[in-house]
């Protein structure tokens, strides 16, 4: 299991403020939510709360969920603790229903088995009001495996330099899965710390992810195809009386 969201949670929080464009991401979700009159929302894979801050500031009735308390603890430094719940997305159970569920940051990549995907979508189905919205992005398998290259990132955050050297290896054990080996080299005040991390991620072909949604009773309203990512906006089929 990856260390990126536990022992390296602080590094993630600092680094990804320069990797992701959270303002742009927020605007994307906000426009879909507004268009569909959604105000009560659940964010799955909310991490250190970078989108949470924006949803709350703009008046959404928001709950954030993540597997790792180390990520949620960072979010809780600025936001009320009960805004967040620690839970595996494969085991969702709520005593209320939401207008919309978002799985942000392509967090579904960490659910590598078919059963886990089915459990996640079935749990989201139960957690949504009739005709509620599910919005999420996944890594697209063709895009990932066509350009399956090692890469390096160099980030400066305050007085810290974070260098990440990433190597990829096909895994293919439970679908379009791959291993991501990352070395973090962190330099601050003349001191250098190094960490190694291994993660298994799952990419999906479009047909595959659409089939998971069909089997769990979602209707796809829109798909947005980008080089390595598919974004899906789906609606819960109302449960017949
Ligand atoms: C790439 S990060 C995205 C975090 C945040 N959305 C952001 O954009 O910064 C993926 C997140 O998914 C969470 N995660 C991984 N597996 C999970 C699971 N089974 N259930 C809930 N959250 C999970 C991780 O802890 C991490 O915070």
Q: What is the DSSP string of the chain?
A: --STTTTTHHHHHHHHTTTS-HHHHHHHHHHHHHHTT--EEEEET-TTSHHHHHHHHTT-EEEEEES-HHHHHHHHTTS-GGGEEE--GGG---SS-EEEEEE-TTGGGG--SHHHHHHHHHHHHHHEEEEEEEEEEEEBHHHHHHT---EEEEEEETTEEEEEEEEEEE--SSSEEEEEEEEEEEEETTEEEEEEEEEEEEEB-HHHHHHHHHHTTEEEEEEEE-SSEEEEEEEEPPPP-
CA–CA dist 47, 57 (Å, integer): 17
pLDDT at 241 over 70: no
Co-location of 98 and 155 in the same domain:
no
The pLDDT of residue 240: 63
Mean pLDDT of 32-49: 98
CA–CA dist 71, 86 (Å, integer): 10
The pLDDT of residue 187: 97
Q: How far is the CA of 89 from the centre of ligand 1 (A)?
A: 9
Could you list the residue range(s) of the whole structural domain that residue 58 is in?
Answer: 9-140+205-236
pLDDT at 216 over 80: yes
Percent of the chain clearing pLDDT 90 (strictly above): 98
What's 34's domain CATH number? 3.40.50.150
Co-location of 171 and 209 in the same domain:
no
Co-location of 23 and 110 in the same domain:
yes
- Name the residue of 107, 113, 116, 200 whose CB sits within 8 Å of the most ligand 1 atoms, as the mutation to test its pocket: 107
Is 2 part of any domain? Answer: no
The pLDDT of residue 1: 78
Mean pLDDT of 59-67: 98
The pLDDT of residue 172: 97
- Name the residue of 2, 10, 11, 110 whose CB sits within 8 Å of the most ligand 1 atoms, as the mutation to test its pocket: 110
Co-location of 125 and 154 in the same domain:
no
Co-location of 30 and 122 in the same domain:
yes
Mean pLDDT of 17-36: 98
Co-location of 126 and 85 in the same domain:
yes
Is 31 part of any domain? Answer: yes
Which atom from ligand 1 is nearest to the alpha carbon of 104?
Answer: 6
Cα–Cα separations (whole angstroms), residue 84 to 55, 122, 204: 13, 21, 28
Model confidence at 149, pLDDT cuts 50, 70, 90, reads very high
Is 177 part of any domain? Answer: yes
CA–CA dist 170, 57 (Å, integer): 41
The residue whose C-alpha atom lies closest to atom 17 belonging to ligand 1 is 67
Co-location of 115 and 30 in the same domain:
yes
pLDDT at 239 over 70: no
The pLDDT of residue 118: 98
Co-location of 136 and 151 in the same domain:
no
pLDDT at 83 over 80: yes
Co-location of 72 and 127 in the same domain:
yes
For 155-205, how does the pLDDT look when each residue is reduced to its tens digit (9 = 90+)?
A: 999 999 999 999 999 999 999 999 999 999 999 999 999 999 999 999 999
Is 97 part of any domain? Answer: yes
Mean pLDDT of 74-94: 97
Number of domains in the chain: 2
What's 160's domain CATH number? 2.20.130.10
Is 29 part of any domain? Answer: yes
Co-location of 163 and 49 in the same domain:
no
Q: What is the mean pLDDT of the chain?
A: 97
Co-location of 119 and 63 in the same domain:
yes
The residue whose C-alpha atom lies closest to atom 16 belonging to ligand 1 is 110
For 87-96, how does the pLDDT look when each residue is reduced to its tens digit (9 = 90+)?
A: 999 999 999 9
For ligand 1, whether the C-beta of 46 sits within 6 Å is yes
Task: Give the residue among 165, 129, 141, 167 at the shortest CA–CA distance from 225.
Answer: 141
pLDDT at 145 over 70: yes
Co-location of 16 and 69 in the same domain:
yes
Mean pLDDT of 5-19: 96
Q: How far is the CA of 65 from the centre of ligand 1 (A)?
A: 9
Q: How far is the CA of 227 from the centre of ligand 1 (A)?
A: 21
């Amino acid at each position: 299991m990856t260390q990126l969201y536990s022992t390296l949670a602080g590094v993630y929080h600092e680094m990804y403020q320069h990797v992701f464009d959270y303002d742009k991401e927020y605007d994307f979700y906000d426009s879909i939510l507004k268009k569909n009159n959604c105000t009560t929302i659940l964010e799955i894979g909310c991490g250190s709360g970078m989108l949470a801050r924006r949803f709350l500031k703009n008046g959404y009735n928001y709950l954030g969920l993540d597997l790792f308390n180390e990520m949620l603890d960072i979010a809780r430094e600025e936001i009320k603790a009960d805004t967040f719940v620690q839970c595996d997305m494969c085991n969702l159970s709520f005593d209320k229903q939401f207008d919309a569920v978002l799985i942000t940051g392509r967090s579904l990549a960490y659910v590598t088995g078919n059963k886990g995907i089915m459990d996640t979508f079935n749990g989201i189905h139960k957690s949504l009001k009739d005709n509620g919205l599910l919005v999420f992005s996944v890594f697209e398998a063709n895009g990932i495996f066509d350009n399956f290259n090692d890469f390096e990132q160099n980030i400066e955050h305050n007085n810290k330099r974070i260098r990440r050297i990433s190597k990829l290896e096909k895994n293919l054990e439970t679908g379009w899965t791959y291993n991501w080996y990352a070395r973090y080299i962190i330099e601050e005040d003349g001191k250098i710390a190094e960490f190694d991390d291994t993660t298994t991620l799952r990419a999906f072909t479009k047909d595959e992810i659409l089939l998971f949604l069909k089997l769990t009773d979602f209707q796809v309203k829109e798909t947005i195809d980008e080089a390595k990512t598919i974004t899906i906006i789906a609606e819960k089929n109302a449960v017949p009386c």
